[in-house]
Amino acid sequence: MREFTHLNVTTVPEAASAKDNGGAILAGGTDLLGMEKDFVLSTSAGTMVNIKTIPDLDNITDDGSLKIGALTKLTDIVESSVVQSKWASLAEGALKVATPQLRNMGTIGGNLCQECRCWYFRAHNNAYNCFRKGGTLCFATIGNNTFNAILGGQVCFAVCPSDTAIPLTSLGATIVTNKRSIPIEEFFVVLGNDLGDDEIVTEVQVPAPASGTVQAFKKYAQRKSFDFAIASAAVSITVSGGNVSDCKIVLGGVAPIPWRATAAEDELKGGPINETTAAAAAAKATNGSLKLPNNAYIIPLAQAMVRRAILEAV
């Protein structure tokens, strides 16, 4: 591992300033330290800015909306009766992250801000200077793209690796930083997230679901006990008078960002939920997909996750 300076900070402004000066934010460290060990990037951050020493960033509260501090461990979210009571799909999404050991270390802020898992980006010793690192090519487009995006791929076809981001998007969450509040659908961009150099995540806020809302999260992974999603789906469906009055359907593992399946939402609205309507919505969930040579199999997987999530929700 390259040498680095370990800096303990005690305030959010201190952390933001250190990040602005080139430091890397260190919370659980389950992603960042692995990247450093593998020499994924051409240079080290130089300074690891430890934010675990900042107090009061690991709370879960419900004051009409759910508020989760950025340093809250994933295990605490899984086990929280507050989260389970109204935001069950988030608890399920957090439970599907990695292994118990990693959930005990990993934080919600880190899970949202982690780097992609594309094997060209992650190759040891910076073997591929891909577009995401400042190069001119997404190597996945000409190489092995088995786990790359079928939706929304542009200059980079790596997929968003966060499990919690998928239910949070379906629940209409807001990401709060030291500078602003960002709707989660604006937080993620093709090359990662929209954080500025002097900006860190401090809290995640989730509104209370409307009356009659049901939720679910489903995930398919190669090694289902701990792996990253090949395809996942989160649904938040409001039912009134036996019919769907509103819904959000979000796909994970298939795009560089959490992917709103708006065509599937439109298909589901206005009718009851049953096997027929769930299948019809699922069929439209991957509208606009652009398969690469090795990843066409993800399309039916994503559709299956949507169908199962819809049916499980009710």
Does 56 score more than 80 pLDDT?
yes
Q: What is the pLDDT of residues 227-265, one digit of tens each?
A: 999 999 999 999 999 999 999 999 999 999 999 999 999
What are the domain boundaries of the chain? 1-53, 60-112+160-313
Largest CA distance in the chain: 62
Per-residue model confidence (pLDDT) at position 183: 98
pLDDT in tens, 40-49: 999 988 999 9
- Is the model's pLDDT at 220 over the cut of 90? yes
- Give me the mean pLDDT over the 184-195 stretch: 98
Q: Two tokens at 154? A: 């542009």
CATH of 60-112+160-313, one of 3.40.50.1970, 3.40.120.10, 3.30.390.50, 3.40.190.10: 3.30.390.50
pLDDT at 225 over 80: no
Give the pLDDT of residue 309: 98
User: pTM of this prediction?
Assistant: 0.98
pLDDT for the residue numbered 226: 87
Cα 89 to Cα 92, 101, 176, 290, distances in angstroms: 5, 21, 20, 28
| Residue 224 banded pLDDT, cuts 50, 70, 90 | confident
Tokens 């950025």 belong to which residue? 70
Nearest C-alpha neighbor of 129 from the set 140, 138, 141: 138
pLDDT at 1 over 90: no
Just give the CATH number of 1-53.
3.30.43.10
Q: In this predicted structure, what is the pLDDT of residue 45?
A: 87
What is the structure's pLDDT at 86?
98
pLDDT at 18 over 90: yes
